[in-house]
Amino acid sequence: MSSSQTFTFSAERFFPRRIYDLISDVRATDPVAAYKATQTRQPRKELAPDGKLLVLAADDPARGVTASAGGDMALTIRYDYLARIVRVLLGGVFDGVIGTPDVLEDLCLVQQVLRENSGPAFLDGKVFIGSMNRGGLLGSTFEMADTFTAFNVERAKHIRCDGVKMLLRIDPDSPDTARALERCARVITDVNHAQMIALIDCQPVKRTGERTWETLLDPDEWARAVGIAAALGETSTRTWLTVPRFEGMRRATEAATLPFLLTDANSPPDVTRLLADVSAAIGEARNIRGVAMGRNVLCPGTDDPLAVAGAIEAVVRRRIDPETILGRIDQARGRKMDALTSLLADKELVFEGGVQAAGYAT
């Protein structure tokens, strides 16, 4: 295995481009195939049976967020982005994924291709969370609108999602906040009727320019925001919240008894510091139950996304200290990178498309 200084993750080495090309062809010739693929996936029976939950956040591109440690436009290369998501989920160290419809459908198509070619059903038993309001595009004049432009509750339920995620940015000076609160409250009520979870990414923010807002990292502001988010909807029984790591973060988690997932929004794209943040947060607040992390896991520079995800899982679930994990991480880098390429070597891909979609309304 290689150190982080010498290892370079290669999408081509891990994820056969033939799978990607086949999916692209199917998208044009059989649009219903993506839906059918969602119906062959076996959902998880219990969301968090051990009280922990680690989900991969794969919804950044839909809001115009394109930059990562891999470059300013790294998240716009769908082949590479999809390869990294599959790498983590196939490795089995994270419980599931948050995504917009296009991403979750792409993943289900990948699984269907693998399933029909003697490969692993890597999404079976995984948590699926549909991302909803991606309409507040980064840097736009309407960024704070945060309109629901992706999943709705009915569709998320129909494709066997376990829940939905919504962004709720709270700016007392913006009228968009009042509209966002009302929309989110309605969704939370609908989610409970559908027996799904509502994952609320609430953030206190302030305007810093004509088209820029920044997330406040003041503990009291976060406590207020958490209190507001926790009270939305007719019941909070299925509400989870997110919080980034910052000084005084515990003040935010003390504002509700609800479970929290730690995000990487305020964490550096460096595995050493990221693990330190996760370990400190888990130790600081009992109701931080896991993570909802994206760019810093998927695109950690040249490092292996699965090795980073595995290190985070070891901190969250097994409470291994970061120093010990860093001493072992080289053993995980690049492991089974050829699992899919060797499986499909010299094999003509078969794709029939899964279950019949009788009665499906496009």
Q: Where are the alpha helices (DSSP H) in 122-218?
A: 153-158, 175-193
With CA atoms as reference, report the closest residue to 128 among 160, 85, 90: 160
First-last CA distance in the chain: 47
The C-alpha atoms of residue 13 and residue 11 are separated, in whole angstroms, by 5
Q: What is the pLDDT of residue 63?
A: 84
- Regarding predicted confidence, which is higher, 137 or 313? 313
Q: What is the pLDDT of residue 358?
A: 37
Q: What is the pLDDT of residue 356?
A: 47
Q: What is the pLDDT of residue 3?
A: 57
**In the predicted model, is pLDDT for residue 212 greater than 80?**
yes
Confirm if 125 and 91 have CB atoms less than 8 A apart: no
> Whose structure tokens read 């290892």?
7
The region of weakest confidence among 4-8, 106-110, 212-216, 335-339 is 4-8
User: 305-318 and 271-284 are packed helices; what angle lies between their axes, rounded to 10 degrees?
Assistant: 20
Q: What is the pLDDT of residue 354?
A: 61
Q: What is the pLDDT of residue 182?
A: 96
Domain covering 12-44+52-343 in this structure, CATH number: 3.20.20.70
pTM of the model: 0.93
Q: What is the pLDDT of residue 355?
A: 56
Ranges of each domain in the chain: 12-44+52-343
**In the predicted model, is pLDDT for residue 219 greater than 60?**
yes
Percentage, residues of the chain above pLDDT 70: 96
- Regarding predicted confidence, which is higher, 212 or 107? 107
The region of weakest confidence among 86-100, 186-200, 213-227, 266-280 is 266-280
> Whose structure tokens read 């994990």?
325
- Regarding predicted confidence, which is higher, 69 or 162? 162
- Regarding predicted confidence, which is higher, 38 or 6? 38
Beta-carbon contacts of residue 77 (< 8 Å; ≥ 6 apart):
none
Q: What is the pLDDT of residue 236?
A: 98
Q: What is the mean pLDDT of residues 269-297?
A: 95
Q: Where are the alpha helices (DSSP H) in 52-173?
A: 78-91, 101-116, 153-158
Q: What is the pLDDT of residue 318?
A: 95
Checking DSSP bridges between strand 163-170 and strand 212-215, what pairing results, if any? unpaired
Q: What is the pLDDT of residue 73?
A: 86
Categorize the per-residue pLDDT at 353 as very low, low, confident or very high, splitting at 50, 70 and 90.
confident
Confirm if 273 and 308 have CB atoms less than 8 A apart: no
Q: What is the pLDDT of residue 130?
A: 98
Q: What is the mean pLDDT of residues 224-230?
A: 98
Confirm if 254 and 286 have CB atoms less than 8 A apart: no
- Nearest-5° Cα angle at 60, 55 to 66: 135
Q: What is the pLDDT of residue 1?
A: 42
Q: What is the pLDDT of residue 71?
A: 78
Q: What is the mean pLDDT of residues 324-334?
A: 94
Q: What is the DSSP string of 293-350?
A: E-HHHH--TTS-HHHHHHHHHHHHHH---HHHHHHHGGGTTTTTTTHHHHHSTT----
Distance of CA 29 to the CA centre of its chain: 29
For 111-129, how does the pLDDT look when each residue is reduced to its tens digit (9 = 90+)? 999 999 999 999 999 999 9
Q: What is the pLDDT of residue 138?
A: 84
Q: What is the mean pLDDT of residues 1-28?
A: 88
**In the predicted model, is pLDDT for residue 360 greater than 60?**
no
CA-to-CA separations, 306 to 87, 97, 314, in angstroms, rounded: 6, 14, 12
Q: Which amino acid is at 124?
A: D
The region of weakest confidence among 43-52, 260-269, 280-289 is 260-269
Beta-carbon contacts of residue 251 (< 8 Å; ≥ 6 apart):
219, 220, 222, 223
Q: What is the mean pLDDT of residues 266-275?
A: 89
**Beta bridge partner(s), residue 204:** 170
Q: What is the pLDDT of residue 110?
A: 98
